Structure 1
């Protein structure tokens, strides 16, 4: 089968996919093809686009020797079980399909084999609420960032413990990074995922995502921590969910609007260097005020201060900006 035949590959049901990969030999074939793959080869850069004549597939004999299986007949059977789903056959041999690459990446990234951790460490960042030093830790594939003094942005139901944020982060991201570097890498990784969700595309499977707003009606955050009803300091939270692969992004609406071109233009006009996937964005988001103007239809006004000016954005339920006003004085 040539590379152009990829679209003809049969779709594999989830249960069948797990069954195929449960066999140790088949999984070793996927791993071997991953290890033999050369990403710098120009033919692999546009691997499935037929723009190069080169065929970089691995021959049967090379793959057989690599895996170290003792029976060529059975080995061929295992390859056939993978073919069209996780492995593609070309004129020269075998290579991974995109699904095969995803399986290999999951293992290489350590999401199913490693349990690294970071002991709680103070980093070079200050809390957007009280300016105290920020501390970071890593456990169960999540980076937890907290204030060393206050209860942060989200609190538990008892109101006695809180965080600034908790984000998923693949274990491989900790390699060769200090706690400070892991902190900034976590923000870049997750904010870029959030940007994809905002644009309606699941960053994991590319499916359509559905968004909704969670508005806390009796919102009354206390001086020490969050609201006793929603356990957070921000009143409005946006949730985007992929119903196909179940990926989800959830967080303050104030962060989501920092990817909007109207706001980016406003900050640029005021000489502010704005990088969405950054700690600065998280900091700036905490300065934004939020008001529910109407509930039928939903209208939410967010006010963003910058120097002596402020930008008022009115959003509908789908997060579309329906009105934008720049005021020249915070006090005006």
Structure 2
């Protein structure tokens, strides 16, 4: 589950000053000619393009009008260099948001077999596509396995039957971002930690679930948050990736709900110090250990 906090979000110290409000930034780009300029530079691999090349490709007859709109984009979304105009990192990000379909598209509502088995009853799973994301749920007991919001354009150029794998890669990428300390939404710094039902930070629905802990990731900048059970969050850890690779499993190609050796809610939690022990039934059996910040501690082979 993901969300955004409305209050209580303390971003901590900041070394970056906002030179432009979000409203002003959107106003700068809110014109069809300016969007066309950005699209032209993006299509040219970010530039550089001369002013004449931009005007010709955008199709603006009046040089003064074209200069006006290009100048409005300069410094924030476009950079003027000796060789011509190029996209800035902010320009690339804006075009990325448009190309991803996050703000312009929706996902056709369809369903497709997701493979794997339900963690609750062992039934089959289907991927149900909604306008802004995907729900992987059991066809028998209706238990939801995962329910991420996904940019629609992520599914372009993929066959329908491969879309559940794309969902798996997307959710795993979120955990990889979190493991490196970054929010996948705004690239802000995230805090990450192990939460139990008794903790103040625990969501209301957590009490009564069939696991003793979840991993909560919380962005200090935009307030986006999400949770994952430890066995799924652990799949972003290099040691766990290597363990699967040694047993012939490429986690890039296998969504977590197709991993029969992974007991999703099976977690052993100990205190003083806090340790989260996750069993992984590969080979003779392994246990992966994390601390209360969900930082990797060690991998142990299961005692026989």
Please report the TM-score for the alignment, with normalisation by the length of structure 1: 0.73
Assess if the C-alpha contact under 8 Å between 1:258 and 1:276 holds in 2: no
Unaligned runs of 5+ in 1: 1-9, 39-43, 45-55, 153-162, 219-226
Say whether the 8 Å CA contact 1:58–1:94 is kept in structure 2: yes
- Aligned-partner SS, 1:289: coil
Q: Which residue of 1 aligns with 2:87?
A: 96
The match for 1:253 among 219, 224, 230 is 230
Report the more deviating stretch, 121-130 or 111-120: 121-130
The runs of 5 or more residues in structure 2 that have no matched partner are 1-17
Q: Which residue of 1 aligns with 2:286?
A: 311
User: Aligned-pair distance for 1:324?
Assistant: 4.8
Within the candidate set 6, 9, 15, 2:23 is matched to 15
**Residues 1-332 of structure 1 mapped to structure 2, 5 A cutoff:** 11-35=19-43, 37-38=44-45, 56-152=47-143, 163-217=144-198, 230=207, 232-264=209-241, 266-267=243-244, 271-275=247-251, 278-280=254-256, 283=259, 284-286=261-263, 289-294=266-271, 297-307=273-283, 309-322=284-297, 324-329=299-304
Please tell me the root mean square deviation across aligned C-alpha atoms, in Å.
Answer: 3.0
Per-residue deviation, 1:73: 1.9
**Which one has more relative contact order, counting CA pairs under 8 Å at least 6 apart?**
2
**Deviation by residue 1:29-58 (Cα, 9 ceiling, x = unmatched):** 2123223x14xxxxx7xxxxxxxxxxx522
Q: Which has the larger radius of gyration?
A: 1
Further displaced range: 123-132 or 191-200: 123-132
Paired residues of 2:244 and 2:250 also in contact (CA < 8 A): yes
- What is the CA–CA distance in structure 2 between the aligned matches of 1:135 and 1:236, rounded to whole Å? 26
